[in-house]
Every structure is written in C-alpha cells, then in structure tokens.
Amino acid sequence: MSEFWQSIQDALRPGPPPADAVSAMLRRAAGEPELVRRRHGHLWFAAQLLTAQMRLIRVSVWLASAFVMAFGVLVLIPLRQGGLSESVLAMIAPFVAAAGIAGVCGPERDPGLELTAATATSPRTVLVARVALVFGYDLVLALGASLALVALGLDTSGLAALIGAWLGPMALLSSLCLLLAVAVGTTAAFTVGLALWLARLLVPSLALDTRWFVPVANAVKVLWATNFVSGVLAAALLAATVVVVGRAYRYPSAA
C-alpha cells in the first residue's frame, strides 16, 4: 500500500468500540417476547403473559361476573322450579361473559392498554390472552353455577342439557362483542350485546305472526343455542377479530 493510502487508512482509524454494547443490547431486548420465549420456553412465556394481563384487568370485572352468576343461582334456590334453571343460566352466562369481554378488550376503558401498547408483545397475542382469561373465568363460573344447581336438585334436565343451554350463546355473544369492542369500541359492543340479549329475552314471548318476525324468531332460536351454526359463527367472528386487531391497534414493533 502506498504512503498516500496508508495515511488515508491511518486517518480513518476509528475510536475505541463501546465496551458495554452487548449488555446494553440485552437490556433493550429484555422485554422482547421472542427472546423471552426462546430463553424460558413457550409455557413459561404464556404463564407470564396471562399473569401480567390478569393484573391489568380491573378487579371489578372479576367481581361483577361472580356477583351476577351467584345472584342467578341464589334467586333460583327459593323458587325451586327445575325448568327455570336452563332459562336463567342461558340468559345470565352469555351476557356476563360478553359484557366482561367488551369491558377488557376495547380501547376506551382499559387502563392496561397504555402499558400493553408499550410492550413488544403482539396485539393479537395480548388479545387472545385477555379473552382466554375473561372467557375462561366466566366459563368456570357458569360451570360452577350449573354444577351447583344440579347438586342442589334445582335442575331436572341434567348437567349436559343445562350446559348446552348457555355454552353456545355464551361463545357467540362473547365473540360478537369482542369483534365490536375491537373494531368500534366498548360502548358499541356493550350496547349491541345488550340489545341482542334483550331480543333473546323478548322474542319468544312475542307471539307475532308477521312475515318478518317469524324468520327473526327462528334465527334467534337457532343462534341462541349450542349447535353447529352458533359454534361456526362464533369461530368466524373470533377469526375476524384476530385480523381486525392487528390493524386497529398500532403497537411498536420489535427492533
């Protein structure tokens, strides 16, 4: 190399590299889900995510669901009418779950959203964790209520029929409210959920024989039950939500 190019090389010689670059990078990467998963495994990550989300969901959500469900069972005890159990649980369980999901998955009333938005965990993962927590909790409550009613001799149709009365409607109404909460907002989800719930309440008692009412009544009957149609519809709504949530929320991406 000529003297000229040697002098160029000398002039370009850089300063010392930072000594703590790796530790600085690791500190920065500490919250990245992909790295946490790689280090501790998927189960550990899932447990951490669920625990974190559980802390972020307001206590009132858990308490309100438990209170309404317990109230439903307590109301049935003095009545001692076997046929009422299915109807009461079919009305209470779906609404409790749908209201809870609308309350924790919409952007307006969620104190944990700001924290969630500051993490690199994908919004879809966070949403699935939250839905799993709230729906799972309400599912356990409804199962507990069903078991209690059967154990107390307050249901004559059997446990399977009792669960069938609320499981399908609960999944369908919850997935619809979830989609609305994510796409439109908590208030809209709650309002639509309440309207559908009232429709379910009122339609069977209205003996209208008009051209438009009969198909509506039939549709309500089919959808507000545990069957293939309500199951597929609930799954489709859930899939739509997963698609929408990635666009509706803007989270910082991992580096």
- Kindly indicate which of the ranges 3-11, 118-126, 202-210, 240-248 contains the residues binding another protein, using the contact rule CB under 8 A: 3-11
Burial code (b: 16+ CB inside 10 Å, e: under 16) for 111-146 equals ebbeebeebbbbbbebbbbbbebbbebbbebbbebb
Q: Which is nearer to another protein, 38 or 247 (CB)?
A: 38
Q: How far is the CB of 18 from another protein (least distance, A)?
A: 6
Residue 7 is a binding residue for another protein (CB under 8 A)? yes
Q: Which is nearer to another protein, 207 or 255 (CB)?
A: 255
Q: Which is nearer to another protein, 23 or 60 (CB)?
A: 23
List the x/- string, 31-70, binding to another protein by CB under 8 A. Answer: ---xx--xx-------------------------------
| Per-position DSSP letters for 92-152, written without gaps between them | HHHHHHHHHHHHHHSSTT-TTHHHHHTS-S-HHHHHHHHHHHHHHHHHHHHHHHHHHHHHT
Q: 4, 114, 205, 207: which one contacts another protein (CB under 8 A)?
A: 4
Q: How far is the CB of 1 from another protein (least distance, A)?
A: 9
Q: How far is the CB of 19 from another protein (least distance, A)?
A: 8
Name the nearest CA neighbour of 136 among 226, 50, 45: 50
> If DSSP states are collapsed to H, E and C, what string results for 159-182?
HHHHHHHHHHHHHHHHHHHHHHHH
Does residue 165 contact residue 83 with C-beta atoms inside 8 Å?
no
Radius of gyration of the chain (CA): 26
- Please report, as ranges, the residues that interact with another protein according to CB under 8 A: 2-5, 7-9, 11-18, 21-26, 28-29, 34-35, 38-39, 255
